[in-house]
Amino acid sequence: MKYLYSFLSLSLLLSGGVIAQSKSGFFTKLRDKFSTEISVGSFAYKNGGIYFGELKGKKPDGWGKTIYKNGDIYEGEYARADRHGYGVYKRLDGEKYEGEWKNDKQNGWGNFYFLNNNHYSGEWKDNNQEGEGTMYYHNGDRYVGYWSKNNREGEGTYTWLNGAEYKGQWKNDKKEGYGSIKWDDGSSYEGTWKNDARNGRGTFIYLHGDKYIGDWVNDVQHGKGVYEFSTGDRYEGAYVYGERTGRGAYYYANGDKYQGEFKKGMQDGEGTFTWENGSIYEGRWKDNNREGHGKYKWSNGDTYEGNWKDNQPNGKGVLRLVSGSVYTGDFLNGLEDGQGVLVDADGNRSEGTFKEGKKDGDFTETDVKGNVTKVTYVKGRRRQ
């Protein structure tokens, strides 16, 4: 019984010492964690970085400096071992960030100096350019506006060194949405953009004063549009990859008008041209010239219908004059030339060869009574 008592007493004593020792270690940790006592010393991060500076609870807290394993250096404020507050991060390659930190990341306002000599000054979120900011490019260009995940996003203004300037919307670092640009030569565009190019509806004003209002695809006029020339001319119609192609109407400053088909900027296909004096041509066109079958009506009422080439009657055709005479036959360079039949206003008929608009050669003439005469003409004169 005596030995049993002694054993129990020793066990209680030892166990009390272990408990006391355990409590001492626990409270030491609590003290280290919540201590407000500031000291100066070093701290080793798991990533190999070595910190020198203010400590609180044996961890970086306050002002200090960390040299990272790769040679990068951070100097600034810390909170509970994280970069927090103002600080400067210098990379071994020469890039540098100066500004605000939160939760160990670039958060708030800061300046970043890139290796290529670009300089960003603005807002950051979780190490990304996010919010309002200005990028000063190494070539002298400048962007002022909004950013998202290091890309220009939202409203912003890009100014080139040569004075050109874009104001408008951005998406994924490219001009997209509605915006306007003015080039250094004085020309300008206002309208919609997509993927850094004019896409959709927009207005382009040229240096010399011409203006285009209409559809764009990948920086070229494509679709429907109106082109106003500084001379007073105007085109309304279709465009294909920057050229007037398809149906359209061209209004001249002097009152002339063409309505019809275009190809590569020229009147080509079926079309009607109306002159200011009242003359009208309806028919085929080729490279801005009347070519193929067509009908021309002069302002005085005369008409020609037939084949055209080089803007003149060439080939087979019919010329009707208001006087009542009708010529049916061959034409060359706008004149009766070749085999033809001329019927005058009284009904008399002459059939033979014409040269440069005149009877020239053997003719068969038939009067209204049916009398037939064989005659010869030389340059329009009847040979006796």
CB-based contacts of 271: which residues, under 8 Å, 6+ apart? Answer: 258, 259, 260, 261, 282, 283, 284, 285
∠ CA 296-299-302, nearest 5°, is: 55
Residue 88 lies in a domain: no
CA nearest 212: which of 232, 194, 236, 193? 236
- Please give the share of the chain, as a percent, with pLDDT higher than 90: 90
> In the predicted model, what is the mean pLDDT of residues 232-237?
99
- Please give the share of the chain, as a percent, with pLDDT higher than 70: 90
Q: How confident is the model at residue 384 (pLDDT cuts 50, 70, 90)?
A: low
Residue 12 or residue 73, greater confidence = 73
Residue 59 lies in a domain: no
CB atoms within 10 A of CB 259: 18
**In sequence order, which ranges of the chain are alpha helices (DSSP H)?**
2-34
The whole-angstrom separation of Cα 261 and Cα 289 is 12
Q: How confident is the model at residue 22 (pLDDT cuts 50, 70, 90)?
A: very low
Q: Is the pLDDT at 285 greater than 90, yes or no?
A: yes
Number of domains composing the chain = 1
φ, ψ (nearest 5 deg) of residue 117: 80, 10
The whole-angstrom separation of Cα 384 and Cα 107 is 111
Q: How confident is the model at residue 23 (pLDDT cuts 50, 70, 90)?
A: very low
How do beta strands 142-148 and 128-136 pair?
antiparallel
Residue 63 lies in a domain: no
Residue 277 lies in a domain: yes
Q: How confident is the model at residue 357 (pLDDT cuts 50, 70, 90)?
A: very high
Q: Which two tokens stand for residue 186?
A: 């004085």
**pLDDT tens profile 184-203:** 999 999 999 999 999 999 99
Burial of 354 (0-12, 13-18, 19+ CB in 10 A): buried
Segment holding 250, helix H or strand E: strand 243-251
Q: Is the pLDDT at 216 greater than 60, yes or no?
A: yes
Residue 16 or residue 42, greater confidence = 42
Quote the pLDDT of residue 192: 99
Residue 76 lies in a domain: no
Q: Is the pLDDT at 9 greater than 60, yes or no?
A: no
Q: How confident is the model at residue 29 (pLDDT cuts 50, 70, 90)?
A: very low
Q: Which two tokens stand for residue 180?
A: 């306007």
∠ CA 302-329-364, nearest 5°, is: 110
Residue 6 lies in a domain: no
Q: How confident is the model at residue 14 (pLDDT cuts 50, 70, 90)?
A: very low
Quote the pLDDT of residue 2: 35
> Where residue 366 sits, what CATH number does that domain have?
2.60.450.20
Q: What is the mean pLDDT of the chain?
A: 92
Residue 69: left (phi > 0), alpha (psi -120 to 50), or beta? alpha
Range with lowest mean pLDDT among 18-32, 43-57, 141-155 = 18-32
Burial of 237 (0-12, 13-18, 19+ CB in 10 A): buried
Residue 177 lies in a domain: yes
CB-based contacts of 205: which residues, under 8 Å, 6+ apart? Answer: 187, 188, 189, 211
Residue 16 lies in a domain: no
The residue segments making up the domain with residue 259 are 107-383
Q: How confident is the model at residue 37 (pLDDT cuts 50, 70, 90)?
A: confident
Q: Give me the half-sphere count of Cα atoms (radius 13 Å) on the Cβ side of residue 252.
A: 11
Residue 242 or residue 7, greater confidence = 242
Residue in the structure block whose two tokens are 């192609």: 245
> In the predicted model, what is the mean pLDDT of residues 254-269?
98
